[in-house]
Amino acid sequence: MKQIDFENRYRDRWEQLEKWLKVGDGGAEAASLDLPAAYRSLCQQLAVAKERQYTNQLIDRLNRLVMTAHHRVYQQQTLRRNTWLWYLLAGFPRAVRAQIRTVWLATALFLLPALVLGIGSYQNDALIFAVMSPDQVWQFESMYDPGNRVLGRERGSDSDLLMFGFYIKNNIGIAFRTFAGGVLFGLGTIFFLVFNGVYLGAVFGHITRVGFVSTFYPFVIGHGAFELTAIVLAGAAGLRLGQSLVDPGRHRRLVALRLASVEAMRIMYGTFLMLVIAAFLEAFWSSSTEIAIGVKLAVGGLLWLLVIAYFALAGRGVAGPEHEVQRGA
């Protein structure tokens, strides 16, 4: 192949890559350029140019482009290793704040039914039986009986470690159903948020009525900061999916759903981590009867303040990985 034909064949790709490297990965070319693949192709083209002894001007141009692309690829690989750290410190709370209206809607769908059933079950001892069977009610009462060796589960139940696994499975199952229900135009998510709010409120009201306050509230306050918040966030992510189907805008519904799922998963990754933390606290901290009630309440209150402060303040004014790449260009 003559040099002129070689240049005509690859000139557009070189110019696109040069422009991309100059303006960074935030430009319009970002979506259409696979940098690692472009870098590998460029290395092959440089090798061909050297083998065929094309002009020094062309070889120098390709060599400079290869070196610049190599530097950028190395930066992106370094950033990927730090992506999870950035996500935990800034990306997760920023993703939540970006969907704050949906988060508030999910909070209302979960909290309002919980308050109604909580107050109702406290005032009327028969209302709890509209939500669960007598056996379930007895089971909850036995779980928070002050005479238990451990709290939050029946006497003679499995070890803390096995309960840790059970709590992870149970919590993530609830969150996933709440999230996945969003594909039913949001109706599934709304159902699970309201249902869990009703169920939780009924338990709170009934257990308070029977007088197990000294065991129940110290038990739930610690892990509740992570578990209840995570359920609401899973609901917000599900509602975002539902919103994309109800109002897809200028996109087709499947395209809108795919775009919304990217935003939703930015919330769900952190939500799953919160549920693991909640399960650990529930199994090893909340269930212990050796820790003083005052200590549990104080630590639980502090955890709630930390969770609220994290989502309200973390990540403000912090540049994301994409900005770090552009600064390094």
In tens, the pLDDT along 81-99 reads 567 888 888 889 999 999 9
Q: How would residue 327 be classed by pLDDT, with cut points 50, 70 and 90?
A: very low
Note the pTM of the prediction, 2 decimals: 0.71
160 or 209: whose pLDDT is higher?
Answer: 209
Spatial separation of the C-alpha atoms in residues 271 and 259, rounded to whole Å: 19
d(CA 219, CA 286): 5
Higher pLDDT, residue 32 or 309:
309
Looking at residue 159, its pLDDT comes to 64
Q: In whole angstroms, give the CA distance from residue 168 to residue 165.
A: 5
Average pLDDT, integer, range 45-68: 88
In this prediction, residue 239 carries a pLDDT of 96
Q: Which residue has the tokens 């059933």?
A: 117
| pLDDT for position 328 | 34
| Helix/strand number for the chain, H first, E second | 12, 0
pLDDT the model gives residue 310: 96
pLDDT at 263 over 80: yes
More confident residue, 325 or 30: 30
Q: How much is the average pLDDT of 186-209? A: 95
